[in-house]
Structure 1
Amino acid sequence: MKYPVREGISKARHSAVHLEMRDSYTPNDPEFARWRAGHRYNGDPARLPEWWGAWRDLVQETTARGVVMRRARIVSEPVTDYISYEHDMTFANVAAGELVRWLPRRRAADIPLPGTDLWMFDGESVLFTYFSGVGEVVDRERRTEPEVVQLVASSFELVWERATPHGEYKPVQ
């Protein structure tokens, strides 16, 4: 399967937003297994996995062009181990130039949300990501219909307004 997220980000002119709504992703990820075994990042970029460098470079290049990158995560509380893992390494997203916020699921109950995670580029196109029940990516779909883009844009903005900036969010265990 082609991975068009990087392509969308590299072509973005002014914005790239990411909405995440699952409580677990890629459960067989070896880095997540290391984290569960006690590895912590402690805000130290040198402790991040090797693949992180390519993402950091992409984010830094993109934000240097003036593109605003925002990531919002809707999470259940108490949080899962996977969300704790994501929270532990999100300092790196922020350091690279992403703006990240967290919204407890109960505060999103009255927001009309798309049925799956997504990226939206420049308020013009949406890239939906479809997952298996255990969190593996099974497909992606790009949509550009104005009503789809508008739904995503309005949903994301409501989430963003209610969400807590990463530096202030403390996961409920």
Structure 2
Amino acid sequence: MLDENELGAYIDRHFTSTLFRLETLDLYDVSSNGEDFRRYVAGEPGPDMHRKGRWMDHIRSEVARGLHTYRVHVVHGPLTDYLRYEFEWDYVHNAAAGEHIRILDLTEQPSPEGLVSEDFWLIDEDHAVVMRYDSEGRFERGEIVQEGQLAEYRHARDATWAVAVPFADYWREHPQYWRDPPAA
């Protein structure tokens, strides 16, 4: 079992080339969002670019060192306010900084064979951590996947990545979810 700090250290220790994240929830209650989600829902301008800028610099630094993060978020449209916030205020910026993000909208395409119903990180090819959250989207713990189960998570990564839509394409094709029009 890994708490938030242990999870970060575990990823840092094993991340040497690729990091894959599968997300399946409609809501994540994480402190790293600061006040941005509340501000988004309230119609305030944002995001907090001081906070966001530091994260974008982190992503750019990883890319410059040859480290690449891939993410697939499995959704069921219509998007929740949280997902709209996450896409518009996080993913737009993370993708611009170099994170590879795709969306798998199961209301628009069938579930691929091999999709798992739980969030996980796959670190390089040799380590995986299943993420456990409570019903409010708060992180509870990470569970290290045993070596004999790694093939299931590699298959889930490959299956979802192959059919998911690149984030920029998905976002451009779904203006009904935009709170703010894209910057010109």
Q: TM-score range by the shorter chain?
A: 0.7 to 0.9
Structure 2: give runs of 5+ residues left out of the alignment: 178-184
Which of 121, 124, 134 aligns to 2:123? It is: 121
Find the counterpart in structure 2 of residue 91 from structure 1. 92
Question: Could you list the runs of 4 or more consecutive aligned residues of structure 1 that deviate by over 4 angstroms after TM superposition?
Answer: none
Residue type at the aligned position of 1:36: V
Alpha-carbon distance, 1:11 to partner: 3.9
Alignment partner of 1:32: what SS?
helix
Find the counterpart in structure 1 of residue 104 from structure 2. 103
Find the counterpart in structure 1 of residue 169 from structure 2. 168
Residue type at the aligned position of 2:143: E
| d(CA) in 2 for partners of 1:51, 1:60 | 15
Alignment partner of 1:59: what SS?
helix
Could you tell me the TM-score, scaled by structure 2's length?
Answer: 0.79
Deviations 1:20-67 (A, max 9, x none): 0111111896321110001344xxxxx435433443233222221212
Name the stretch that deviates more: 7-16 or 131-140: 7-16
Q: CA RMSD in A?
A: 2.3
Q: Do the aligned residues in 2 keep the contact of 1:10 with 1:58 (CA within 8 Å)? A: no
Identity %: 24
- Mapping of residues 7-156 of structure 1, within 5 Å: 7=9, 8-9=11-12, 11-26=14-29, 30-41=35-46, 47-89=47-89, 90-106=91-107, 107-146=109-148, 148-156=149-157
The count of residues paired between Structure 1 and Structure 2 equals: 167
Alpha-carbon distance, 1:91 to partner: 1.4
Q: Do the aligned residues in 2 keep the contact of 1:40 with 1:88 (CA within 8 Å)? A: no
| d(CA) in 1 for partners of 2:6, 2:162 | 28
Deviations 1:116-139 (A, max 9, x none): 211111111111110101111111
Could you tell me the TM-score, scaled by structure 1's length?
Answer: 0.84
Structure 1: give runs of 5+ residues left out of the alignment: 42-46
